[in-house]
Structure 1
Amino acid sequence: MAGADGAFRATRILAGAVEAFAGQVYFAPEAHAGYEKLGFSGSPGLVGGVAMPDMNAYFCSRGALLGQVPGEVVASAFAVFNPAIVVPAVEHGWSLTTAAEIIAARDEAAVGQLRRILGTNPDGADELARLLGPVSGSLPVAGRPLYAGLMNADVPEDPLGAAWRFADRLREFRGDAHTAAWTSAGYSAIEIGLTTELYWGLRSKTYVRTRGWSDAELDAAIADLKSRGLIDDGGLTDSGRQEREAIETRTDAQCAPVLQALGADFEKAVAVLRRFSDAVRAAHGYPAAGPHDLAALHAKQ
């Protein structure tokens, strides 16, 4: 894919291919059961056949990549959630378990679900681990807290587990890059949530509610976005859409080192990741469709 536009499309293609394979850890029944053993509530129920995460366990299991840190640090790294729900959730979580314990449960569950769906050593796992290992271990850590935390996490010995770890690094690297892009563009956490759901074609104040913001907070942010000419009653204005796309483009630019490191192996890696991610979705290990398909959808435009 020659040129900047092609490279940016490629970063979104890769992100879309990575998503379900890496992100399935947050929906794995094995994870919910493991966290329940530690004292968390377990999955609150199914949506589209997929087991949703208990948010206390989610904040602690992902936040534990940073160490046994307070909720304020987790809220800062995750960026898009209301600290008012993150801080008490993490405080409660650390009264039940330790960072080391929940990371062990997280890793075991992630690999457990993949083995259940894909098999112990599915075709392509060895190659994927070989391709993603050097790439995911060579990226800059500056300003990338969750990616840096994963760099300190143990790599499973088996190829499938190692491939998952490396894919999770790439997922968090892009997430950290995205946070850097929208914060530097002057958006608040509520504002990026509101503009993102409109950018995805969702109704206003739908997906962003999962981040814990109140109606009053959402309404105040909407008023501010309208005053800046970024949204109107019909959704994003032309200016708002251009600004939101610019944030995604700046995210893509920060992910250029991933493409450079993959080089000619890009298509091979994407093919295996897509096959694994498709299987995970088909087995209800990750939502079949939703906002996290953004990268793949925009890459096709």
Structure 2
Amino acid sequence: MTTPPARALGAALEPITGQVYFSPEAHALYAGLGFRPSPGAMGEPPVALPDGPAYFTSRGSVLGQVPGELVAAAFGVFNPEVVVPAVDRGWSLTDAATICAARTEGAVGQLRRVLGDAPDGLARADELLARAVAPLRPEGRALFSGLLSLDVPDDPLAAMWRRGDLLREFRGDSHIAAWISAGLDATEIGLLTELYWGLPMRTYIRTRAWTDDQLDAAEARLVDRGLVADGALTDAGRTLREDVEARTDAQLQPAIDALGGDLDELLGLLRPWGAALRAAGAYPADGPHDLAASASG
């Protein structure tokens, strides 16, 4: 089965845009604002993990200096009982504009360290990403809209990263809309997604800070709906979960249409950069978009 174009684009972009959350340059800048340094690393090569309050505050900063309840709602999949105090902690240390600037600087710093000032094809990749972003609508997409409120940086590498981040958050916002419209909540989509990716239940979702009681209740609801049985997806569960992904892909269709026959060229530019970032320990070997792409491809 061929990976849908929107999913292929998401997978190619993910290590380039998502590397900000594992960037030592970003972690050092956040520590300079009073956050804790990276709590450790995972994988091989080692990938530096983010401090929780720094993560929630930096990514949420594109919304402005908003309460943790709004950050939790926009991110969608994290336990608000953890997000709210983390954001409160963040705003006790810094303001949205300051940490937003640090986030951009940290992201571009890691890209520059690994890829250089001007990786081959940078101008063309930025041109194509700008074309993909141009037709996307902001309605109902909080993080995408927050990024739209920021100026595109003058630095070519930073501009490319910003446009990629716009596409990443647009897909994330669209994904939330898709699973909400399927009648799922954050714990339920998390458990279904693990099985859809081929992971054991209650592995990846642990990073979202839900309690055992909350996950027990969610699993019971999925069993009652006939979506999960004996710790595995039923046919109905797999169909529903794939439909969520397909509905997410469909919301990216304006970007895919805008790229037209140049999508393969863009993928050809992005994929070597992503491979270099993974090899340098800038992004985990298998991220969410990789798992999503493999689930259908």
Q: Structure 1, residues 131-166: CA drift from partner, whole Å, max 9, x if none? A: 111321331000111111111122221221111110
Aligned counterpart for 1:205 among listed residues 179, 196, 202: 202
Matched to 1:272, the amino acid is L
Matched to 2:202, the amino acid is K
* Residue of structure 1 in register with 2:12 after alignment: 17
**How many Å apart are 1:234 and its aligned residue?**
3.9
Q: Which moved more, 1:149-158 or 1:189-198?
A: 149-158
Is 1:274 the counterpart of 2:274? The answer is no
Q: 1:252 & 1:133 partners in 2: Cα distance? A: 19
User: Unpaired runs of 5+ in structure 1?
Assistant: none
* Residue of structure 2 in register with 1:217 after alignment: 214
Alpha-carbon contact 2:197-2:295 (below 8 Å) kept: no
User: Unpaired runs of 5+ in structure 2?
Assistant: none
> How many residues end up aligned between the 2 structures?
295
Alpha-carbon contact 1:137-1:151 (below 8 Å) kept: no
Q: 2:79 & 2:149 partners in 1: Cα distance? A: 27
Q: 1:93 & 1:71 partners in 2: Cα distance? A: 10
* Residue of structure 1 in register with 2:24 after alignment: 29
Matched to 1:75, the amino acid is A
**How many Å apart are 1:55 and its aligned residue?**
1.0
Is 1:135 the counterpart of 2:132? The answer is yes
The 1:203–1:215 alpha-carbon spacing in structure 2 relative to 1, beyond 3 Å, is same
Q: 2:118 & 2:175 partners in 1: Cα distance? A: 33
Pairing of 1:135-284 with structure 2 (within 5 A): 135-284=132-281
**How many Å apart are 1:298 and its aligned residue?**
3.6
Q: Structure 1, residues 193-242: CA drift from partner, whole Å, max 9, x if none? A: 01101111111111111111100110011111101111011411111111
**How many Å apart are 1:288 and its aligned residue?**
1.2
Pairing of 1:96-107 with structure 2 (within 5 A): 96-107=93-104
Matched to 1:122, the amino acid is P
Structure 1 counterpart SS, 2:4: helix
Q: 2:287 & 2:189 partners in 1: Cα distance? A: 17
Aligned counterpart for 1:60 among listed residues 54, 57, 80: 57
The 1:80–1:64 alpha-carbon spacing in structure 2 relative to 1, beyond 3 Å, is same
* Residue of structure 1 in register with 2:91 after alignment: 94
Structure 2 counterpart SS, 1:134: helix
Alpha-carbon contact 2:194-2:201 (below 8 Å) kept: yes
TM-score (norm 2): 0.97
Q: 1:288 & 1:108 partners in 2: Cα distance? A: 23
* Runs of 4+ that moved beyond 2 A: none
**How many Å apart are 1:289 and its aligned residue?**
1.6
Q: 2:216 & 2:295 partners in 1: Cα distance? A: 28
* Residue of structure 2 in register with 1:39 after alignment: 34
Alpha-carbon contact 1:31-1:109 (below 8 Å) kept: yes
Identity of aligned residues (%): 58
Q: CA RMSD in A?
A: 1.3
Alpha-carbon contact 1:38-1:96 (below 8 Å) kept: yes
Q: Structure 1, residues 105-152: CA drift from partner, whole Å, max 9, x if none? A: 000011110000000111111111111113213310001111111111
